[in-house]
Amino acid sequence: MPAIDERSSNQKKHESRNPAQRIAIANFHNKAVELINRARPKTILELGCGEGFVLSAVSEAGVTAELTGVDLNERAVKIARERVGHRATIEHRDAREFIDDGRRFDMVMMLEVLEHIPDPDQMLPILDRLSNGWLLLSVPWEPLFRGSNFIAGKNITRLGNDPDHCNHWGRRGFHKFISTHFDIIEMPIVFPWTMALARTR
C-alpha cells in the first residue's frame, strides 16, 4: 500500500521538480525580497507562514530584519522551525492573538493565504492593527492561475481551480480589495500570482 502524502499544497508547490514551477517560485521569492528591501523593515511578521519557505528564502537573500512566522497548522509550524532554525521565531497560534498582546511589526506579509479564507475582509482590520506601516500581500492571479494549472494537468475536473481556494481575484479586483484599507505602492507582475506592496493609512 503506497504511503499517504501528508504534504500541504504549499509544500508540494515549493518541492515540485517541475522546472517551470521552480522558476516561478524562485521569481516569486526574488520579487518578495526586492519589495522587502525597498521597504527596509526592521521587523517582519508572516501570517500563514506554512512550512517556512518564504522566511527561509528571505533570510538566505540577506534580509536582516527580525523574522516572525505564525501558522495554525501544527505540522507546518514544526517543519518551518526545522527549516529556518534560529533565524526566525515560528509560532503555532492565531494571528489575532498578536493584537491582544499589543504587538506590531514594521511589515506584515500574507502570501498565498487570503484566497483560502472564506471571509477575507475580516483580515484587513487585523493586518492594519498588526502593521506599523508596510504590508506585502499576494494571491493567485485569476484566471491565469487556473489556466496554468489546467495546462499543467492539475485539477482538470475543476478546470484548473484549486479545491482549497475560496476566493478568486484578478489584478484589478485584488487592487480594489486592498485599496479599501491600504495605499498600494507597487503591484508587480509575478506570474501566475498578483503581489502588492502597500502601506497603512
Q: Which domain holds residue 52?
A: 9-200
Residue 55 lies in a domain: yes
Neighbours of 189 (CB within 10 A): 12
* Pairing status of strand 88-92 against strand 105-111: unpaired
The tens place of each residue's pLDDT in the chain, 201 residues long, gives: 667 788 878 888 888 888 888 999 999 999 999 999 999 999 999 999 999 999 999 999 999 999 999 999 999 999 999 999 999 999 999 888 888 888 899 999 999 999 989 999 999 999 999 999 999 999 999 876 665 654 565 656 555 466 677 888 999 999 999 999 999 999 998 999 999 999 999
Residue 56 lies in a domain: yes
pLDDT value for 101: 84
Residue 140 lies in a domain: yes
pLDDT value for 10: 86
Q: Which three cell numbers stand for residue 70?
A: 505564525
**CATH number (domain holding residue 40):** 3.40.50.150
Find the DSSP H helices in 15-143. 19-39, 53-60, 74-84, 96-101, 123-130
- Choose among 171, 63, 54, 165: nearest CA to 110: 54
Residue 146 lies in a domain: yes
pLDDT value for 149: 56
Residue 3 lies in a domain: no
pLDDT value for 157: 57
pLDDT value for 1: 60
Residue 178 lies in a domain: yes
| Total tally of structural domains belonging to the chain | 1
Residue 1 lies in a domain: no
pLDDT value for 109: 98
| Whole-prediction pTM | 0.90
Peptide bond into 143 cis (omega under 30): yes
